[in-house]
Every structure is written in structure tokens, then in C-alpha cells.
């Protein structure tokens, strides 16, 4: 039989902070991931002009990434459950870095299409692997903030990509921007490979810190953490998994619409030039980074005061989705570019504050060590929203409804997503009896 750890260990802070280095490394990975992903969005107006592509065609290219990204999620989840995140992240970062560099050689719609497909395959392990790392390296009391740390780095990459890539395009051309940003991911892959260890195998972790991060788990007499794995495909039989995954699809639809189209929106609908857009697009993402980290602190403090995990996730994700609907609507009504940027910033702020919870969810409900599998299903279903978002929005932009038509769809889906998040339960799953 296994036992919970002593209550004193649960309360006291440990000697050592190796867990924060693990969180830092996945946060850095997500930031680089999004730098390479958002590069294409920033280069969109330039590429459209050079190759004569319309908004519908660009929507297809943006969505192509998510076609392969989504389909790769299920096998990635199984691989993470079996082998862990070390090799998965090494291969992914090196792979997407090389593919990003190859994007700089593209010379036609077809070439762009296939590199976008390859980019989706290589970037797929990022978020499930990050959730897996955080789930085994942090106790529940720190999990919202630590999950927010890596999730908010999607906003960090999105914040610094517009001015950086705009500067690279103006100085060296759009092709060089892909080569330079892709090379950063390749360097990271080597650094990750030689520094990451699982908690049990870490050469310098203290016994106190290891006990601290395991405080919510059952530890066997042999010193191993007890886990009751659930086969990947059987996860689809759990109503909670289906509800939160569909809700996450609606969350990603909203996020991806703005992550893909905000640079073009600011230039085409609000009249900014490339340099102005680079700095204007940065503002909402910076607000989002600050608000997501703040959300992580607030929700962890609420947990310390006795809130249940279900209360945290329902409140946080409901606030994120309902708040986003309000401020997206106000963005459409804004009469000036300054007003639009202000409301976009408020949208991103409340969206990110609540979404400090979004990638804590797989670790909450998964059996120990299985967050990669739950995260794979979560991201597999969820990314159908991301898959359709750029394409559907692109077709609206090309129609008589324009950007406002695409944004109205976001408002409707955000409200539906809020309801699904708020009626879900977030307790840990147990294997179903045969």
C-alpha cells in the first residue's frame, strides 16, 4: 500500500528549487515555439503582396499548420506517456527550427503549404510535454502559477515577434527572418537535451524538494509514486474530457483568430504601416503576459485559502471566455486605431488572466505521470478550433462582412466555451472498471 506524505512536508517550503528550472525551461521552449509560429502572421502582409495571395488563400496556409498539428496530438500523447518529455522536446525544437528555416526558401503557395504542414507536425509536442513536465515537477498548490508561466510565454513569443520580425523584414527581408528565428529553436534543443531530468533522476535534487513536489501523490513503500494509467483512446469515454476539450477548441478558436490575423487587421482595417503595426501588436500581448502571471498568483492564493480545483478552473475559464466576448465586441465598435488597440489589450488581459488555469487542467485530471496523454487528447480535440479559425476568419475577411464578421463568430463561440468550462468537473480521473 502507498501513503500520503507527512503533513509537515506538505506545508514547509523545501531546500532546493530545481522545480523552477524545469518550469523555466518549458516556458522558454513555448516562447521560442510561438516566436517561430507567429513569424508567419507578421510576414503575412508582405507575403500576400509578393506572391499575390488573397485573404482566403492565407487563411488556408495558416490553417494548414493546425491540420497536421492536430492529427499529431494523439500519437504524441502516447509517446509522452511512455517515454517522457526529454527526447520529445529535443526532437520537436530541432525539427520546428529547421522547418522554420526552410520556410525562408518557399517560392509558391504550394511550398508554403507543405512547410506549414511540417511545422505543425514538429511543434505538436510543445504544450502536452509542458503540461507533463509541470504535472510531475510541481505540487497542486503551485500548479496554476507554474502552468501560467509556460502558457503565458505563448503571449511573450507573440509580443516580441511583431517588432522583431518586422525589423528583420525591413532590414534583411522576410526570408532572413525565418532563418534567424528558426536557428534559435535549434540552439534551444541542444540546451534542453543536456539539462533536463525527471525528478526521480535529477542528480542534485534534495530529498526535501522531491518530497515537496510529491505531496499530493501516493508514494509506495519502494519510494515510487503510485499511478493508475488510463489508455489514450479510453480517455474519450470520460464526459469531463470531452467537455473540457470542446471548450478548449472554442478557446483556441478565439486565441488563434487574433494570433493569426491581428497584424494584418491593424494594417488593413486600422491603417497602420508595418513599423507601427510591429509595436502596436506588441501591446496586447505584453498586457496578456502580465495578466496571466497575475492570474496564476491570484488563483494559487485562492487555492491556499481553501478553494477546490474545480472552483478555480470554472471561475478562471468562465471569466476568460465571457470577458473576451465583451472586449472583442468593443474592439469592433472602436472608431479609432488607438481605441481598437486599447480594447484588444483589455481582451487579451482578461482572457489571459483567466487562462492562467487552461494548461493546469490536464495535470489536474490526469493520473500521475499521464498528463501528456490527457494533454494530447485535450490538444487534439481543442486544435480543431485552431484549425478552422484562420481559414473561416480569412473567408469572412474576404467577404462583405470583413473583419467584423470574423470577430462576431469569436464572440458567439466564446460564450459557448464559457458555459462548457463552467459546467465541467476537474477532479482526478480514475480508470473505469471493465
Nearest residue to 63 (alpha-carbon basis) of 79, 90, 82, 44: 44
Whether 39 has a pLDDT exceeding 70, the answer reads: yes
* Residue-range domain boundaries for the chain: 7-422
Q: Given this model, what pLDDT does residue 298 score?
A: 95
46 vs 88: CA distance, rounded Å: 34
Q: Which pLDDT band holds residue 15 (cuts at 50, 70, 90)?
A: low
- The DSSP string of 126-179 is HHHHHHHHHHHHS-HHHHHHHHHHHHHHHHHHHHHHHHHHHHHHHHH-HHHHHH
Task: Report the chain's mean pLDDT, rounded to a whole number.
Answer: 86
> Of 162, 152, 159, 161, which Cα lies nearest the Cα of 345?
159
Look at residue 27 in the predicted model and tell me its pLDDT: 92
CATH level 3 topology of 7-422: Growth Hormone; Chain: A; (1.20.1250)
| pTM (two decimals) | 0.78
The model's pLDDT over 213-234, given as tens digits with 9 standing for 90+, comes to: 877 766 655 566 656 767 777 8
Condensed to tens digits (0 to 9), the pLDDT of residues 253-304 reads: 999 898 778 888 898 889 888 788 878 888 898 899 899 999 999 999 999 8
Choose the weakest-confidence range: 20-34, 109-123, 189-203, 211-225: 211-225
Q: Is the pLDDT of residue 101 over 50?
A: yes
pLDDT of residue 3: 46
**Residue 131 and residue 231: Cα distance in Å, rounded?**
18
Q: What percent of the chain shows pLDDT beyond 90?
A: 42
Residue 230 pLDDT = 74
For the chain, how many residues are written?
434
- Give me 392's grid cell: 473561416
pLDDT in tens, 380-425: 898 889 888 888 888 898 889 999 999 999 999 999 999 999 999 9
Residue 8 to residues 40, 152, 368, Cα–Cα distance (Å) = 50, 32, 22
Among 179-183, 327-331, 394-398, the least confident range = 394-398
Between CA 45 and CA 186 the distance in angstroms is 27
Q: How far lies 38's CA from each of 260, 347, 377, in Å?
A: 7, 19, 24
Beta bridge partners of 225: 219
Amino acid at each position: 500500500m502507498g501513503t500520503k506524505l507527512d503533513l509537515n512536508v506538505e506545508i514547509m517550503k523545501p531546500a532546493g528549487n530545481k522545480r523552477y528550472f524545469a518550469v523555466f525551461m518549458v516556458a522558454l521552449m513555448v516562447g521560442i515555439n510561438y516566436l517561430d509560429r507567429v513569424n508567419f502572421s507578421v510576414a503575412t502582409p508582405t507575403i500576400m503582396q509578393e506572391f499575390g495571395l488573397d485573404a482566403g488563400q492565407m487563411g488556408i496556409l495558416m490553417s494548414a499548420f493546425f491540420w497536421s498539428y492536430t492529427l499529431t496530438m494523439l500519437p504524441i500523447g502516447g509517446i509522452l506517456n511512455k517515454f517522457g518529455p526529454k527526447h520529445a522536446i529535443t526532437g520537436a525544437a530541432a525539427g520546428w527550427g529547421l522547418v522554420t528555416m526552410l520556410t525562408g526558401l518557399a517560392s509558391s503557395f504550394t511550398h508554403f503549404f507543405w512547410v506549414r504542414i511540417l511545422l505543425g507536425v514538429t511543434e505538436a509536442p510543445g504544450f502536452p510535454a509542458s503540461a507533463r513536465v509541470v504535472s510531475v515537477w510541481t505540487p497542486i498548490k503551485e500548479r496554476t502559477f507554474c502552468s501560467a508561466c509556460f502558457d503565458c510565454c505563448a503571449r511573450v513569443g507573440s509580443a516580441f515577434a511583431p517588432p522583431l520580425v518586422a525589423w528583420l523584414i525591413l532590414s534583411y527581408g522576410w526570408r532572413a527572418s525565418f532563418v534567424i528565428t528558426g536557428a534559435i529553436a535549434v540552439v534551444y534543443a541542444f540546451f534542453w537535451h543536456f539539462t533536463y531530468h525527471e525528478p526521480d533522476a535529477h542528480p542534485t535534487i534534495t530529498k526535501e524538494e522531491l518530497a515537496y513536489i510529491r505531496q499530493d501523490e501516493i508514494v509506495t513503500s519502494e519510494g515510487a509514486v503510485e499511478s493508475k494509467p488510463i489508455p489514450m483512446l479510453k480517455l474519450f469515454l470520460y464526459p469531463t474530457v470531452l467537455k473540457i476539450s470542446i471548450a478548449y477548441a472554442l478557446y483556441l478558436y478565439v486565441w488563434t483568430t487574433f494570433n493569426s490575423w491581428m497584424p494584418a487587421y491593424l494594417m488593413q482595417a486600422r491603417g497602420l504601416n508595418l513599423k507601427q503595426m510591429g509595436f502596436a501588436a506588441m501591446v496586447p500581448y505584453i498586457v496578456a503576459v502580465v495578466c496571466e502571471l497575475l492570474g496564476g498568483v491570484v488563483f494559487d492564493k485562492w487555492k491556499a485559502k481553501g478553494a477546490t480545483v474545480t472552483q478555480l478552473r470554472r471561475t478562471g475559464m468562465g471569466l476568460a471566455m465571457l470577458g473576451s466576448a465583451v472586449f472583442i465586441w468593443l474592439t469592433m465598435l472602436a472608431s479609432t486605431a488607438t481605441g481598437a488597440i486599447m480594447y484588444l489589450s483589455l481582451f487579451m488581459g482578461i482572457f489571459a488572466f483567466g487562462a492562467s488555469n487552461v494548461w493546469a487542467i490536464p495535470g489536474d485530471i490526469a493520473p500521475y505521470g499521464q498528463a501528456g496523454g490527457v494533454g494530447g487528447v485535450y490538444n487534439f480535440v481543442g486544435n480543431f478550433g485552431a484549425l478552422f479559425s484562420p481559414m473561416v476568419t480569412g473567408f469572412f475577411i474576404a467577404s462583405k462582412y470583413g473583419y467584423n464578421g470574423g470577430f462576431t463568430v469569436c464572440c458567439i463561440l466564446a460564450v459557448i466555451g464559457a458555459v462548457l468550462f463552467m459546467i465541467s468537473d476537474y477532479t482526478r480521473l480514475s480508470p473505469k472498471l471493465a
